[in-house]
A and B are shown apart, each in its own frame.
Chain A
């Protein structure tokens, strides 16, 4: 086998092995603020939805002007913006596609994430500067299909969530194309694109953004025997459920990097800013630490704990480490509250007076123990003393959303650092 460019992953420098092919960390953003936070917290690229042709019709979506602003912001950090245009179009969705793709190109988007050949071919024709990345909606699961899309001129493919490390390895060996793979977030239990439960149950088209997550509902399982329906559950059994645990591959990052996977994708355009910041910052640290010294890398317990602070479901490795068993599904649970709440965003810090200016994002009060985190600081925990409003009035609690408040903090803080509070 000839050595592909892709295969050059590490080399020895000054007697020490380092990773020279550092993968892209790709984060989701449902609005401009989340995009900026994702980039600020270390994402190399961010994927967003425009107002047309994307799935997640009820996620926050970007206008062309907002996409332009996002691109300009990301540019300052050397980060790229991809726009999801991954519906399977019906005839009446075809109008306006050319103008829309041209507008994305003009707004400076680096690429689009696409499933429908209609959009692939139209983009090649009218917006040739846009990279084309095949969406996971095409359920790409084998190397010959990867070969097909390579021949079609695509720069990158996003694999089906059902592909494992061994499969990806072979794809990388056989085809010289960028591979993007999910590392974190909620997942479909069905092959993406091959589920129309929502169409049947709620008359909403899942392949045009109308998915209502019927797969997360409870059902009762019966069998028909001699014309009679018989329950296949006993009293006290949990209902039949298909809900998968969320994907979390933080501990597989070394293997992912050594496989030469080009882009590591975090799922969740609908997720909170706290989720985006937390997940991005932890994966950033792990990728950087591994690439700097792969042979002495050890995952730190604090990274794993940090990631759990924004989780609202149990997590699992899904297909990456082999076929997932029943323990990678949830029965009788329907998600839970996150352990921590995002309660404030740092706007400013005065080093002389030690005064932090903060925008309230959730209720907190003097006496609360809170944790600060951000790309410039090591996490730390403090108890909040007196809190003042903008006019210097002392407050018994920060009650109002987006209210500007001040309090003293001995540790240095930076704008966009976040304050979270453990839920008890």
Chain B
């Protein structure tokens, strides 16, 4: 069996080191000027530092350039890509086709990973962006297991799937928290909470909590549950999905390290033999359940859920 790459989202240089130890194969980093909803901020200097560490460990590093860009930021794309090429990162993650144009201008040779989140829903699109320079498609988290496997069967590019963590379900350009506080006449709240990552919206009807924060790219709202399919990976292994992502945004560094260790064990076990994986998967799930924050129930995302329209 070809082992899927285990991709993680570090929050700091120290976290990169811990995650190398925990068994991650690849790292997604960047800064909000170019990337969306990152677990941590890495300036270009920190990207260089992290890349050295990661490459020394024989692992890969990808940089996020998947924001929805407006005119004011597109002139910065090609220079940033040149810097990334010089550092020698292994891939650039994008959603906006402006990045394809900018890559041509920058005349750099870095693989692109197509990751527009919610709209990556079929294999035709994966191959379409493949023909335009993408070597990997990162699938929407709102797909079922069956759909993911059918995409993989028809894809001419690598397929990446999120297996753990929360997912963004809404992005507005507007600063919605700031607007709410201003409406309520609480200007001080706005100042104090600009960078806060501890807020959530409570939905009484569903008894659900949706994490919410603001940054340079607007307002982001997240799923009420953390996806976890550590005990349901066999179909993805059999389909030879190329990369498993653990999304670590809004989680503690320690939590992400433990979860990474668990998925590392799961991947290595299945590579040894499916039975080895089946023997330990409940144990791995229990380990994650143990460290799961109280307000963040685990679920299996959309892997086994029916969606109508």
Chain B contact residues, majority secondary structure: mixed
Which listed residue (B70, B102, B183, B209) contacts A163, Cβ 8 A?
B70
- Contacts of A117 on B, CB cut-off 8 Å? 124-125, 128-129
Selected contact of B118 from candidates A194, A204, A229, A241, CB within 8 Å? A194
State which size class the interface on A falls in. 35 or more
- Is there contact, CB below 8 Å, between A329 and B71? no
A151 CB to nearest chain B CB (Å): 8
Smallest CB gap from A318: residue in B: B174
- Beta-carbon contact of B200 and A224 below 8 Å: yes
Roughly how many angstroms separate A227 CA and B198 CA in the complex, as a whole number? Answer: 10
A232 at the interface (CB under 8 A from B): yes
Using A144-B74, A162-B173 as known contacts, say yes or no to A116 and B122 having CB atoms under 8 A apart. Answer: yes
Query: A193 to B95, alpha carbons, bound, how many Å?
Result: 12
B97 near A197 (CB under 8 angstroms)? no
Does B80 make an interface contact (CB < 8 A)? Answer: no
Q: Which residues of A contact B199 (CB under 8 A)?
A: 221-224, 232
Give the interface of B toward A (CB within 8 A): 68-71, 73-74, 77, 96-98, 100-102, 117-119, 121-125, 128-129, 142-143, 147, 150-151, 154, 169-174, 176-180, 182-184, 189, 193, 196, 198-204, 206, 208-210, 212, 218, 221, 223-224, 294-295, 302, 305-309
Task: Name the CB-closest residue of A to B205.
Answer: A217
Whether a CB of chain B sits under 8 angstroms from the CB of A380 is no
A237 interface hit (Cβ, 8 Å): yes
Q: Which residues of A contact B212 (CB under 8 A)?
A: 221
Chain B residues contacting A238 (CB-CB under 8 Å) are 183-184
Q: Kindly state the separation between the CA atoms of A296 and B230 in the bound complex, as whole angstroms.
A: 69
Chain A residues close to B by CB (< 8 Å): 57, 88-94, 115-118, 121, 137-139, 141-145, 147-149, 160, 162-163, 167, 170-171, 189-191, 193-197, 199-201, 203-205, 207-210, 215, 217, 219-225, 227, 229, 232-234, 237-238, 240-242, 244, 319, 324-326, 329, 331
Of chain A, the residue at the smallest CB distance from B180 is: A240
- Please indicate the chain B residues that have their CB under 8 angstroms from the CB of A93 in the complex: 122
Q: How far is the CB of B64 from chain A (nearest CB, A)?
A: 15
Q: How many angstroms from the CA of A210 to the CA of B118 in the assembled complex?
A: 14
The answer to whether B70 touches A142, judged by C-beta atoms less than 8 angstroms apart, is yes
A to B CB contacts below 8 Å, 8 in the list:
A90-B143, A116-B121, A142-B74, A142-B98, A167-B70, A222-B209, A224-B295, A240-B201
Interface contact A326-B179, CB-CB below 8 Å: yes
On whether the beta carbons of A203 and B102 are closer than 8 Å, the reply is: no
